[in-house]
Amino acid sequence: MTNLFAKKAIGMVATTALVLAIAITTHNLADAAEFNFNWKGDTGYSAKGSFNYDTTTAPSVISEAGLGATKNLQSLSISFFDPFSTLINSFTPVLGSVSNYSFLRFNFDNTTQQIFGPFDVGKDDELPGDTWLNNNLALIDEGFSNEVLAKEFGFNNRDAAGIKQILDLSNNSVQVSKVPEGSIIIGLLAVCSLGLTAHRNLSRANQE
């Protein structure tokens, strides 16, 4: 009986992975561009995130600001880490082509594949635990900030009392890397293959 349940479970995993892979393919993944990005400060704090957009409708420069429906970004997420690589917090400022971060500033040149200009990504509702990364010098130039800081990027959060702290500063830029097209499908097909292999192995074992 246990082997029967195991056989059914493995078969379901394999089938589900295959169905998902086919579904994703039919939804034109080739038209979606996904990128990872990362930043590291001078004292070891860091941020990692990802974003995506539809290449069929996006202009050469993607620019987003504030709350509400985005012009091009479909999603944008970011995670923050301390100098020991321990997760501080994670946020999704853009989900389903809608921004929920009022201070959002995001500019990306999809020709050079570089983030540039005003940048403010994270969460800041003036609540304990809020964390965000911003390009303060660019924000000042655009009239979005009046802070005076010596270095370009600031890693900020709010303590238990909701007081803002600047945890790290650096002139290091935000680095971007493109996620290879089809990587999600490849992963799903790998799961499918493993499931089918396990299914065959279990069938052989039952026959012996």
Number of other CB atoms surrounding residue 157 within 10 Å? 22
More confident residue, 17 or 61: 61
pLDDT of residue 67: 97
pLDDT tens column, 145-186: 667 677 889 999 999 999 999 999 999 999 999 998 765 444
CA-CA distance, 194 to 184, in Å (whole number)?
16
User: Mean pLDDT across the stretch 81-89?
Assistant: 97
Side-chain-side CA neighbours of 183 within 13 Å: the count stands at: 8
Q: pTM for the complete prediction?
A: 0.72
CA-CA distance, 68 to 144, in Å (whole number)?
18
Q: Are the C-beta atoms of residues 29 and 13 closer than 8 Å to each other?
A: no
Q: Which two tokens stand for residue 14?
A: 């394999």
The answer, yes or no, to whether residue 53 has pLDDT greater than 70, is yes
pLDDT of residue 182: 60
pLDDT of residue 207: 57
Mean pLDDT (the chain, rounded): 80
Q: Are the C-beta atoms of residues 153 and 138 closer than 8 Å to each other?
A: no
The confidence band for 202, taking pLDDT boundaries of 50, 70 and 90, is: very low
CA nearest neighbour of 53 among 191, 195, 176, 194: 176
User: Mean pLDDT across the stretch 95-100?
Assistant: 97
pLDDT tens column, 98-146: 999 999 999 999 899 999 999 999 999 999 999 999 998 878 777 766 6
The answer, yes or no, to whether residue 82 has pLDDT greater than 90, is yes
User: Mean pLDDT across the stretch 37-58?
Assistant: 95
